[in-house]
Amino acid sequence: MSRPRILLVEDNPSISKLVEYKLAREDFDFQVVDNGVDGLSRARSWKPDLLILDVMMPGMSGFDVLQSLRDDPDTAGMAVMMLTSKNREEDLKRGFDLGVKEYMGKPFKVGELLMRVNRILGR
Amino acid sequence: MLAIRFIWLVTTALVLVTVYLFVTSLIVRTWQERRARFAAARRDALTPSILAYTLGDSDDLDAVAAQLKVPEDVIPYTDLITDLLNQVQGEETERLRHLMAVPAIRAHFHQKLFKGDESDEAEACMYYAWVDNLTTDETDRLRSILDHGNRLLAHAAATSLVAHPSAAVRVEAVAAMARRERVSRLALLELLYRFHSSRNDQMEEEGALLMALIAQPDLPESHVAILIQAMADIGYVGEAVALYELFEAGYRTDSDRILEAYCYALGRFGFDPAGERIAGYASHPSPRVRQAVAKALEALGDAAAIDTLEVLAADTELMVRMAAVFALARLGEAGKAGLDRVSASTADLQDLVHHVMAELDA
């Protein structure tokens, strides 16, 4: 069975490296991009099993990426988890209205992130 | 001839200055780029061992420290750790703090703290905010900066000291900022929440120290109000009596802001004996105070306050009317009866009551 694919779209390289380090040890096929435009393009071409998405990024926000994915029948059902410091109630509502599986605020616990990823991927 | 010579000289000088500026900027840019590349390369080199320690794959702190080869490693190392400290929480935070305090890094910032240069001191203050076990000389040095003429530097020192294990030192940092006129509400609030942190075993001592600070006569009124509100929000309920006694004694009740904060805090503490006194401010000229009275009476949940709330529900200011109607709606059967009377008095109030009830149902 192939390894689950996870795409992280995150503009903070420290977070990317931290998450990559953790998930790489859990036998995931992991890729990172650092902006929304490339994130959308990679999500469409690579079709990850789970997209982990920051919100505040230069160029295109995580919510814009999510909306574009939902508007495209090819990617409308993609599992998405938000990982962001925008964690007010209205942000969570917006995310869940767009069908995200999980919404994690920053600062976050790395172990908890892994648990949520595993839950979404049914591992 | 003389004019031509002059023009030639000026032109030559301009060309030389332009060439000089161009070459200098090129050298500076190249140097900056090399430095940035070096920092990025060192950061990449240091990252795996930092992450391994942070995520518990390794407990060998010395092995991480041994990676620090040159003085230029300090910035990429501390930048990465600070960045992570701002983004993660839980067990990883503790481990990142260990990494921050390895001897080479500690020595670097210790030197900066005592150098006497403001920008070095500011850097050191920011560093010490992440270090738990400050030495006596480091603590004393940071305390001496609290009264510095440079407000930002003093604030940085206060930020470091509010994480100190001693509640007395922490309150000294808060007091130094609270005494300054030009400290923002947000900056003071942030300090107060850091001041408490998670030290639940020191709640009693912290509360008493903050109460003593509030009672000092030289603090700006807006800061006293923030201190009182933060006391209530953090939950120093043991100070409710002391706060009520200040309130009863009329201490600074001439300030609308402080009066509003008293009402808020005593309501939040659920301090019933204050109900009558708070209700006495229902006719205060400031609408903010009247609104605070309505909210406090709601928080106290005393049915005896229904009459006062009915009066406030007919206030001239919408924000007071709203607070009073919300309060009545949440005060059980007696409140509902009061609400019916309010609703029957005017069409506007009937609309307001409907609006509030719809919002509560939602």
In total, the C-beta contacts within 8 angstroms joining chain A to chain B are 43
- Residue B103: name the closest of B136, B68, B137, B138 by CA: B68
How far CA B313 is from CA of B70, B304, B342, B345, in Å, comes to 69, 15, 7, 10
Percent residues over pLDDT 90 in chain A: 86
CA distance A21 to chain B (A): 7
pLDDT-derived band at B200 (thresholds 50, 70, 90) equals confident
- In this prediction, what percent of chain B has a pLDDT beyond 70? 99
How would residue B360 be classed by pLDDT, with cut points 50, 70 and 90? confident
In chain A, which residues have their Cβ closer than 8 Å to the Cβ of B55? 18, 21-22, 110
> How confident is the model at residue B199, as a pLDDT?
67
CB B252 within 8 A of CB B221: yes
Which residue is it, tokens 């942030």? B190
With an 8 Å Cβ cutoff, are B48 and A21 in contact?
yes
**B91–A17 C-beta distance less than 8 A:** no
CA angle B54, B142, B120 (to 5 degrees): 75
CA dist B15 and B74 (Å) reads 41
Question: Could A109 and B91 be called an inter-chain contact, meaning their C-beta atoms sit closer than 8 Å?
Answer: yes
Mean pLDDT to the nearest integer, B279-285: 95
**Within-domain flag for A122:** no
Residue A43 in any domain: the answer is: yes
| pLDDT category of residue B332 using cuts at 50, 70 and 90 | confident
Q: Which residues of B touch A12 (CB under 8 A)?
A: 83, 87
Residue B28: predicted pLDDT:
92
How many angstroms separate the CA of residue B122 from the nearest CA in chain A?
24
Choose among B54, B57, B83: nearest Cβ to A12.
Answer: B83
Domain boundaries, chain B: 1-87, 289-362
d(CA A48, CA A75): 10
Q: What is the total count of domains within chain A?
A: 1
**Minimal C-alpha gap between A67 and chain B (Å):** 26
Residue B55 has its nearest CB partner, among A12, A106, A110, at: A110
> Smallest Cβ distance to B88: which of A17, A21, A109?
A109
Instruction: Compute the average pLDDT of residues A117-122.
Output: 94
Model pLDDT for residues B54-73, shown as the tens digit of each residue: 999 999 999 999 988 888 88
Question: Quick one: pLDDT at residue B40?
Answer: 85
Q: How confident is the model at residue B264 (pLDDT cuts 50, 70, 90)?
A: very high
Report chain A residues whose CB lies below 8 A from the CB of B88: 18, 107-110
Q: Are A71 and A46 in contact (CB under 8 A)?
A: no
- Which residue, among A14, A17, A34, A93, would best test binding to B if mutated, counting the most B CBs under 10 Å from its CB? A14
Residue-wise pLDDT tens digits, A74-111: 999 999 999 999 988 899 999 999 999 999 999 999 99
User: Residue B354: what pLDDT?
Assistant: 85
Residue B248 has what pLDDT? 92
Q: What is the pLDDT of residue B126?
A: 93
Q: Band of the pLDDT at B139, cuts 50, 70, 90?
A: very high
Interface check for B58 against chain A (CB to CB < 8 A): the answer is no
> How would residue B165 be classed by pLDDT, with cut points 50, 70 and 90?
confident
pLDDT of residue B48: 92
pLDDT band at B197; cut points 50, 70, 90: low
User: Residue A53: which domain range?
Assistant: 5-117
Of A14, A111, A112, the CB nearest to B83: A14
Q: Does the distance separating the beta carbons of B83 and A109 come in below 8 Å?
A: no
Binary contact (B88, A111; C-beta < 8 A): no
Candidates B208, B228, B130, B133; CA nearest to B168 is B208
Task: List chain B residues with CB under 8 Å of A114.
Answer: none
What is the mean pLDDT of the segment spanning B148-164? 93
* Least Cα separation, residue A82 to chain B (angstroms): 14
Distance from CA of B78 to the nearest CA of A (A): 12
The rounded mean pLDDT for chain B is: 91
Domain CATH for A18: 3.40.50.2300
The CA distance from A60 to the nearest CA of chain B, in Å, is 21
User: Which pLDDT does position A17 carry in this prediction?
Assistant: 94
pLDDT at A87: 85
Task: Provide the percentage of residues in chain B whose pLDDT is more than 90.
Answer: 72
| pLDDT above 80 (res B206) | yes
Binning pLDDT at 50, 70 and 90, where does residue A1 land? low
Average pLDDT over residues B110-136: 93
Question: Are B313 and B337 contacting, i.e. CB atoms less than 8 angstroms apart?
Answer: no
* pLDDT (tens digit per residue) in B181-196: 888 889 999 999 888 8
- Phi, psi (degrees; rounded to nearest 5) at B185: -55, -45
CATH number of the structural domain B289-362: 1.25.10
ipTM given for this complex = 0.89
Tokens for B93, please give them: 């935070």
Nearest CA in chain A to B56: A22
Q: Which of A116, A112, A48, A111 is nearest to A81 (CA)?
A: A116
- DSSP state letters, B218-259: TS-HHHHHHHHHHHHHHT-GGGHHHHHHHHHTTTTTTSHHHH
Nearest chain B Cα distance for residue A109, angstroms? 5
> What confidence score (pLDDT) does residue B163 get?
86
CB contact under 8 A, B87 and A12: yes
Task: Identify the band that residue B290 occupies on the pLDDT scale cut at 50, 70 and 90.
Answer: very high
Whether B89 sits inside 8 A of A17 (CB atoms) is no
